[in-house]
Structure 1
Amino acid sequence: MTLYIETLSGKKFLSRILFHAFIEKLSSNPVKTHYYIEASHRAKMVVRILGKIFGLQFEELEFELRNIKDDFGELIRLRIHRLDLFKFQAKLLDSNEFKTFSNPEWLKNSSYDFILKGLMKGSINEENSISRSLFIIEVVAWHIKKNGEENCKLFFENRPWWKIYIAHAEKLGIVLKPISLINEDPSLQSYMIEKLKQFPRFFSFLKYLKNYTYLRVKDEYNRNVEATIFKENIQNNKTSKIFVFGRGDLNLTNNGHHSDFFWVFNSPILTKNILYQHASQEEKNKLKKYGFSIINNAIGNTRTYKINKIEIPTIKKLYKTEGKKISELIKSYNANKSYWAQFFHEQGVQVYFTWYKYDHMHMAIADAAKEVGGIFAVWQMAFDGFKTIDTKTRAHLAFNFSSWSIEIGKKSQSSIDYNIISGYPKDYAAPLLKAEARKLRSKLESNGARKIVFAIDENSLDDERWHTGHILQQENYYHILEKVLETPWLGVVFKPKVAKTLRTRLGDVATLLTKAEKTGRCYVFQASGRHTTMASPLVAGLSADVCIHGHLSAGTAALECALEKLPTLLIDREGAPSSKFYELPKGKVIFKDWPEALDAVMEHFQSEKGIPGFGDWTSIIDELDPFRDGKAAYRMGNYLNQLISGFEKGLDRKAILENAAEIYAKEWGSDKIVIA
């Protein structure tokens, strides 16, 4: 029976692994090679030396996340967040370990969901997350199947909810062997970060100091900012305000490109009612010029707001690791709720408005807002083609693309008091971008391009074991660039998700990109915000004849183009068969890889009338956005303005929410609001 080791160290090898490997060697059918996933340099040396002495062979298990799929062709990473984590959560809730610490008081606010999402949070590239743990088990199952074996032993770090992992592994032919009590904080840095997050004021201050050191070099931001950390904007707390947690897109021009203020530009709301964090002197000056209320990134509270806290359970020896996890989450909930309640009180914030719903922290913020008489609102930034545990949301108000999006949210176990159907939020942008798109197209046409493709990518990380990696992104560029270089009448436009690191991540393909750019028929949008590229995907789509998204499992940028009736294709290389997008026609919208998609594109371009229905989303578009009238941002901004107006009139939050919903229903239809 083959042995697999999650994390190999010299001590673990000598105390646990060597004995089992030697016994296996003496069996009637010994295996030649055993595998480890992670190992220290010292461990590799110890294994190499002792392996030769005892005739044992240990190798690093080689795998790439993009190749780990189930029998239905679904990428295991996607399935874990779509299905497996929900199953794990159900078993966790039914376990004695959880029931021992569970408290009925948790159900009176968001703390129950805060704890659950806190336990389930984390992507596969995060050590010690449940999704990472499940993925490792799946990788081992994939490998034994690949080698024609039926079972194996996996030496796995003993972690909370151990019995659930044992049952899951057994179904896959894997016997789990605990190595040691899990080192829940694998590095001093991650340990300190998790501990500091329990003290939000201090953590916020430290983040500011880190950013300040960088920005001082970059922006010469050295004008006594330290003296204002705990003072700035407090004197302006009498104005009712919406605190905006943005994406770092500080674009203050209504030009159709990414901006944290797109809903402000397109509605009657006043900038003085918007509170925004700046990260540099340049940002501060811009915001002040346009009349925004501002605050720096490290604003802290000088006092602690008295809140209704959740009682921290007594940790029982029998379930110590589980109890520790739950206790840490409750401490985090109490601390964050207190911090944000004081923040709202000091800064005169009545509404917290965000796009970020992907971790549990937003639930503590929502409870803080409610406790001080405020409202927590979230807007849908990305299209979710299937349920995922990551998108589970607790909010008082949510702006959604459509009723279909609301249903997906419910399946993801979201709880929203007022679900508002407002349409795709960036649908106002097309008229503002058409002149820029025409100019870009003319530029490519002047160099010989008669047909143009817009290629859409995603971001990537270095370690391809825990992320789909750079190779998948390189494919988004390589195939179309080759086609452009061999076809003198073909052009291409790229709007990278993250332009800052693009050429590094492309590796050798970057040379091909430079070569294509020299033809004058290839253009790459470069300007970036704090994190991502500023350009709207729509400006690239409007300049092209066909749009191609290389990642069906994502697809928001593709949806934006399809809503403008631009021919738009989706390539599913990862494997997301459960996506809503699979209701679109294969061979006309859905393709399995870049070569297949480009063959169809070339046939479409070279046919006299093109391929009928090519890139056409008509069959599902009504379900994805029932409006498509360019007024989604107006609806959002106007709704938020109604909330602020209510607060300025002195109404309580309950009346404000009811009145705003009633006004919206009268204007846009009662079917456009779903009240819990």
Structure 2
Amino acid sequence: MLCILTNIEKRTTDKSVCALYIDRLSFYSLIAVISSEKEYSSFFYFNSAPASERFASLLLRLRLLKCRPQPADFQLSDIRDEKGECQFFNIENDITALCNRITETRLATDPLIRDIGRHFPLEKVLCFCGKTVENEIRETMIFINAARWHASHKLAYKNRPVFYLQKGLWFGYLSEYAASINLDHKGYNAVNSLYTNYYLPKVMDKVVSKIRSIFKRILPVRKAEKAGVRDNRSNTAADSFPMIAHWYSNKLIDFDKKKRIDLIWLLNIDIPHDQILICFDRYRDKETVSSIREFKLKGLVFNIPADDEGILSPWRPTERYSQCLKENIKIITMNWLRNSGRINNFTLFYFFIMGYFIDRYSYWHDFFKTTGIKIKIDQQDMGREHVPMNMALERNKGVSITYQWSNHMHFPVLLSRYTDILFSFGPAYVNIWKETRIQLTNLIYSGYITDYAFNNVKEDAMRLREKLLGNGAEYIICFFDENSSNDRMSVITDNTTASVHKFFLEKLIEDSSLGLILKPGFPNTFYKRLSSVSGLIQKAKATGRCIIIDKGEALKTDMYPSEAAQAADIAVGLLLSGTAALESYLSGARTVFLDLEKLYSNPVYEWGKGKIVFDSMDDIFTAISRYRNDPESMPEFGDLSEWAKDKDPFRDGKASLRIGNYINWLFDAFKEGKGRDEAMAFANSKYAEDWGAENIVKFS
């Protein structure tokens, strides 16, 4: 044992020996390692190719490797600085900065990309390309940070680790980034796995899907002819389609102002329901489909099975899609021939991403042209696929609309988007939108998106409170759980979530005067994530002083955070997100932040530590107990007014009314035959007249 400990000590202090890290264990990376003269005693990898571990075992038996490669054990939540601050936001900002740099210095200056601007708006194409780059470099940038953290915290090496990085298209940028955070790096050549393992299968899927669609068009028709049956569940004439398309986002199709609903903008306006098309490209249950019929809406599905009752019609591309695609294939091919005609890594990148771009553009051009839809509403339009989609809508003289749903604290490329109208809570977020290089026509301040519920849930909140008080509670704490996962890329782990709940549950059991409301954001995973404390949960519920809000749709509870918050004396939310805490505070509840990620660079720490933000369970509970016993000694406890400044300039419960009015004005303008720009100008003028011109920010 003494010999082993001596060897470990020698290994971690010898400056000639280092730890090796590889982005992807493969034949190519292993050859690079055995060809290197680097002295190493530890060897880790983040991803692995099929059979690579067996090849590594062979090299080890041949004594060509100095040690066996091991998977790098890390969680994103573990990557912290010397003060203990989780580096998630810093890494996100680094990813954004590098994406912007690549966009400006490589993409925007390349003739292939620039010439595409003759056919499509260049800035919007660059927005699409930037999102593609982000997808390609994100994982590697996290691995680079994980390698540095792993070497210093798990191995205690004093010398710099070496990171082996595949020489892909962005190798130069990534190697510079590795050097900037004090990491040595070496490149290795390989068949570009990004294209062979990621893009090529997608292309093949498209080819196979195309072949299948041809057979589906032929075979069902022949079967129907034999049976004397005609399939009517296909595209109908343009004049039978509504003018507004709303993309479903996994909430209730309902108009109950107490529940989490999808069509918030339709609560206070009189647009005929038969003019609204609910579009589904993801999960939906039978209750949702039934609601479409109940409220006399129309439904359409894309690339997913239709319902059994025939309420939702499937969308099928017309010949216009093929014609448009052929024209655009010619454009990108001629563009390539005109500029170089050579095949290299960048032209592969160009063909794959622009091929995807024109396919999606052609698909949605066909859809919007065929249906005549003029207004598209989509809360979740941040994906790169939405760029060609919204561009096709613009070409067809329509307007794209989205709205902010969460509190944002940083500037990820994920938030960048191309849309005409973005409804944002308030001016506190304007710099975040600008930093994301968003392609936007108008930013409109509407207030907090679900503030209509604040007054409507008061009675239910009081009933919830009375139930706990009736079972002996004298002071009630509400805790807002965020989703967690043990996936290595998760910032909040299941273990952390379980430990927080364990703390609150034990305090509840110890103190018979304490009440507890647990409000998980994702009830469908709540009990699985907290399986380690399931016994404690049952014991707490048996007291009658613990209520868990676990009823709702597949992904979210039906109840808003404001209802649970208003039933409590103090609400606790996570600083990492802040959305539930913001809603809680705006609804009138005293609210504090729990920050186990120790985000000390957040400005709230400059004035709010010990008042509204706490970095340990002991500290937050001590403060709650102190305030409970002597409120006058802590007048600023739970007062988020400084933090929430400018996040909602209205605070009047009318955010959905403002959004609905704007959409209604657009709808009326289009009905009157106004063009796209004229319709937006009309809606802007009406909004400015009713709510103030200062609440409209023009971006372009």
Residue by residue, what CA displacement relative to the aligned partner does 1:210-267 show, whole Å, maximum 9, x if unpaired? xxxxxxxxxxxxxxx9955533xx3574565221113111241323221111221133
- Tell me the residue number matched to 1:118: 131
What pairs up with 1:100-139 in 2 under 5 angstroms? 100-106=111-117, 108=121, 111-122=124-135, 129-139=136-146
1:588 aligned partner = 611
Residues 524-533 or 426-435, more deviating: 524-533
- For structure 1, which segment, 406-415 or 64-73, has the greater mean C-alpha deviation from structure 2 after superposition? 64-73
Q: Give the drift of 1:454.
A: 1.3
How big is the shift at 1:187? Answer: 5.7
* Residue matched to 1:126: none
**Residue 193 (structure 2) pairs with residue 183 (structure 1):** yes
Q: Distance in 1 between matches of 2:210 and 2:86?
A: 40
CA 1:300–1:511 in 2, change beyond 3 Å: closer, same or farther?
farther
Match of 2:530 in 1: 506
Matches within 5 A, 1:646-665: 646-665=669-688
CA–CA separation in structure 2 for the residues paired with 1:11 and 1:337: 38
The one-letter code matched in structure 2 to 1:262 is I
1:510 Cα offset (Å): 2.6
1:654 alignment partner AA = D
**In 2, Cα distance between equivalents of 1:595 and 1:650:** 63
SS of structure 2 residue aligned to 1:103? helix
Name the residue aligned to 1:351. 375
Q: CA 1:331–1:247 in structure 2 vs 1: closer, same or farther (change >3 Å)?
A: same
Residues 484 and 529, structure 2, Cα contact 8 Å, conserved in 1? yes
Q: Secondary structure at the match of 2:320?
A: coil
1:607 aligns with 2:620: no
Q: For residue 577 of structure 2, what is the aligned residue in structure 1?
A: 554
Matching residue of 1:456: 480
Does residue 674 of the first structure (1) align with residue 683 of the second (2)?
no
Letter in 2 for 1:121: E
Show CA shifts across 1:129-161 (max 9, x none): 311111111112223334243323222233221
- The aligned amino acid for 1:601 is I
TM-superposed CA distance for 1:601, in Å, is 1.2
Q: Does 1:273 align with 2:275?
A: yes
Equivalent residue, structure 2, for 1:526: 550
The answer on 1:155 being equivalent to 2:176 is no
Aligned position for 1:377: 401
- Residue 539 of structure 2, aligned match among 475, 493, 515: 515
Number of residue pairs the alignment of both structures matches: 641
1:420–1:227 Cα change, 3 Å? same
Structure 1: distance between partners of 2:603 and 2:212? 40
CA distance in 1, matches of 2:293, 2:608: 50
Offset of residue 7 of structure 1: 5.3
1:490 to 500, 507, 514: 514
Q: Pairwise mapping of residues 305-344 of structure 1 onto structure 2 (< 5 A)?
A: 305=321, 309=328, 311-312=332-333, 313-314=335-336, 320-344=344-368
Q: Give 1:596 deviation, angstroms.
A: 1.8
Q: Is the 8 A contact 2:179 2:185 kept in 1?
A: yes
- In 2 relative to 1, CA 248–283 (structure 1 residues): closer, same or farther, beyond 3 Å? same
Taking a change above 3 Å as real, the CA distance of residues 366 and 583 of structure 1, as seen in their structure-2 partners, is farther
Q: Is residue 424–residue 443 contact of structure 2 (8 Å, CA) maintained in 1?
A: yes
TM superposition shift of 1:620: 3.9
**1:514-561: CA deviation from partner (whole Å, max 9, x where unpaired):** 2211221111222232432222111111111111113x1211111111
Would you say the 8 A contact 1:229–1:296 is kept in 2? Answer: no
**Matched residue of 1:120: which SS?**
helix
Match of 1:35 in 2: 44
Query: Could you tell me how far apart the structure 2 residues matched to 1:237 and 1:520 are?
Result: 57
Change (3 A) 1:200 1:253: farther
| Structure-2 residue corresponding to 1:125 | none
Q: What residue is the counterpart of 2:260 in the other structure?
A: 258
Asked if the contact 2:505–2:540 (Cα under 8 Å) also holds between the matched residues in 1, the reply is yes
- Pairwise CA distance, 1:283: 2.8
Counterpart of 2:477 in 1: which secondary structure? strand
> Where in structure 1 are there 5+ consecutive unaligned residues?
26-30, 123-128, 207-224
Q: Select the residue among 17, 25, 28 that pairs with 2:33.
A: 17
Over residues 277-304 of structure 1, what are the superposed CA-to-partner deviations in whole Å (9 max), with x where a residue is unaligned? 3545543332122121222344222232
Equivalent of 1:80 in 91, 103, 107: 91
Measured after TM superposition, the shift of residue 628 of structure 1 is 0.3
1:632 aligns with 2:655: yes
1:99-125 deviation line (CA, Å, top 9, x unaligned):
253314437255423433332333xxx
User: 1:247 corresponds to which residue?
Assistant: 249
> What whole-Å deviation, never above 9, does each CA across 1:55-113 have from its counterpart, x for those lacking one?
83333332221110245755333222223432343145314896253314437255423
- Structure 2: how far apart are the matches of 1:251 and 1:584? 42
Shift of 1:481: 1.4
TM-score of the superposed pair, with normalisation by structure 2: 0.84
Q: CA deviation at 1:372?
A: 0.7
The one-letter code sitting in structure 1 at the alignment partner of 2:373 is: V
Match of residue 230 from structure 1: 234
- Decide whether aligned partners of structure 1 residues 112 and 535 sit closer, same or farther in structure 2, where only a CA change above 3 A counts: same
The Cα of 1:579 is off from its aligned counterpart by: 4.4
Measure, in 2, the Cα distance between the counterparts of 1:542 and 1:489.
19
Shift of 1:317: 9.1
Of 94, 97, 102, which residue of structure 1 is paired with 2:105? 94
Residues 187, 302 of structure 1: CA spacing in aligned structure 2 closer, same or farther, 3 A cutoff? same
CA distance in 1, matches of 2:446, 2:606: 23
SS of the residue 1:181 aligns to: coil
Q: Check the 8 A contact 2:517/2:547 in 1, yes or no.
A: yes
Q: Residue 155 of structure 1 contacts residue 179 of structure 1 at CA under 8 Å; is this kept in 2?
A: no
Match of 2:219 in 1: none
- Alignment counterpart, residue 295 of structure 2, candidates 268, 272, 290: 290
Tell me which residue corresponds to 1:219.
none
Distance 1:536 1:319, change over 3 A: farther
Does structure 2 conserve the Cα–Cα contact (< 8 Å) formed by 1:424 and 1:632? Answer: yes
Deviates more, 1:163-172 or 1:572-581: 572-581
Name the CA distance, whole Å, in 2 between partners of 1:70 and 1:520: 42
Whether the aligned pair in 1 keeps the contact of 2:593 and 2:613 (CA below 8 Å) is yes
Aligned CA RMSD, in angstroms, stands at 3.2
> Which residue in the other structure is 1:436 paired with?
460
Cα pair 1:92 1:164 within 8 Å, conserved = no
Contact 1:397–1:419 (8 Å) recurs in 2: yes
Deviates more, 1:572-581 or 1:392-401: 572-581
Residue type at the aligned position of 2:678: A
Q: Distance in 2 between matches of 1:180 and 1:317?
A: 23
- Confirm or deny that 1:69 pairs with 2:80: yes
Alignment deviations for residues 634-668 of structure 1 (CA, whole Å, 9 cap, x no partner): 00011101111111111111111001100110111
Alignment partners' CA distance in 2, 1:263 and 1:667: 17
Letter in 2 for 1:311: I
What is the 5 A alignment of 1:52-63? 54=63, 56-58=66-68, 59-63=70-74
Q: Does the residue aligned with 2:194 lie in a helix, a strand or coil?
A: coil
1:456-490 Cα offsets, whole Å, 9 max, x none, are: 12222332355543223223422211211211111
Q: For 1:508, what is the secondary structure of its paired residue?
A: helix
Instruction: After superposition, give the CA deviation of every residue in 1:605-637 in whole Å (9 maximum; x if it has no partner).
Output: 122546211110122434111000000000001
Task: Output aligned runs, 1:570-589, within 5 Å.
Answer: 570-579=593-602, 581-582=604-605, 585-589=608-612
Aligned position for 2:410: 386
Percent sequence identity over matched residues? 22
Q: Distance in 2 between matches of 1:374 and 1:431?
A: 35
SS in 2 for 1:155: strand
Report the TM-score when normalising by structure 1.
0.86
Unaligned segments of structure 2, at least 5 residues? 1-16, 216-228, 304-314
Cα distance in 2 for residues equivalent to 1:670 and 1:419: 12
Larger Rg: 2
